Amino acid sequence: MIKIENLWKIYGNDKIKVEALKGISLEVEKGEFVAIMGPSGSGKSTFMNILGCLDRPTRGSFILDNVEVEKLKDTDLAVIRNKKLGFVFQSFNLLPRISAFKNVELPMIYANVPLKERSKRAIAALEKVGLKDRIHHKPNELSGGQRQRVAIARALVNNPSVILADEPTGNLDSKSSEEIMDIFKSLNDEGVTIVLVTHEIEVAKKAKRIITFRDGEIIEDTKNMGTGDE
């Protein structure tokens, strides 16, 4: 599903150069649940921005569902972002003035999904994350964990190939963190592919595979043999 080969990202100009990614290669199969760890400055955000089609590599190839992403025009990248990727952020990034339902509906409006279908899918997604009784609440009427659940529902509604989550538990207390990870885990059990960045080992342990970055390179890539429930 994701195939990355010899990916480089170099920031800067002739005078100052930062090699943020130094020839990363990796494959992620459909149905995997991957946690990315590594110290600050190791290239995690740069990597996620490329995976998320927000930024382009300096060189190397990135194939998503048989599409050579690095060759696409910006307008096509925007289409991929909406159709094939679901995003979950540390700061939730919900629109504050509209309900949970409307927040979840939004990506489907951009994807031209008909009204009736939008409504059905938004409710089903909110139900999936355990928020059926909160669909008309606005973000400020919800707890942090509930807001993140709305964000996960929003990430799901267009049936993305992969969900990309950048420190999704970074703003949550430990109980809400665990609830969020349990939701990711049950989505993954249903076949949703997930790649998430975290610096908390307890969070990473819920994933089935842990990849560690250092200085723009992958220094470790291990399958998590446990159940993820410990």
- Interface contacts to ligand ADP, rule CB under 6 A: 11-12, 18, 20, 38, 40-46, 54, 87, 89-91, 93, 166-167
Give the nearer residue to ligand ADP in terms of CB position, either 75 or 227.
75
CB 143 within 8 A of CB 151: no
Give the nearer residue to ligand ADP in terms of CB position, either 20 or 126.
20
Nearest alpha carbon to residue 104 among 162, 183, 158:
158
Closest approach, Cβ 101 to ligand ADP, in A, equals: 17
The 8-class DSSP code of residue 79 comes to H
Closest approach, Cβ 167 to ligand ADP, in A, equals: 5
Give the nearer residue to ligand ADP in terms of CB position, either 12 or 226.
12
Sheet holding 162-166, edge to edge: 85-89, 162-166, 193-197, 33-37, 209-214, 217-223
State CA 216 to chain mean position distance.
20
Closest approach, Cβ 117 to ligand ADP, in A, equals: 22
Closest approach, Cβ 41 to ligand ADP, in A, equals: 4
Give the nearer residue to ligand ADP in terms of CB position, either 31 or 217.
217
What gap in Å lies between CA 230 and CA 225, rounded to an integer?
11
Cβ-proximal residues to 26 (8 Å cutoff; 6+ apart), any chain: 2, 4, 211, 218, 221
Closest approach, Cβ 23 to ligand ADP, in A, equals: 14
Give the nearer residue to ligand ADP in terms of CB position, either 42 or 193.
42
CA distances from 182 to 12, 101, 151, 194, 230 (A): 40, 22, 15, 13, 12
Closest approach, Cβ 46 to ligand ADP, in A, equals: 3
Give the nearer residue to ligand ADP in terms of CB position, either 40 or 112.
40
CB 8 within 8 A of CB 58: yes
List beta partners, residue 12: 17
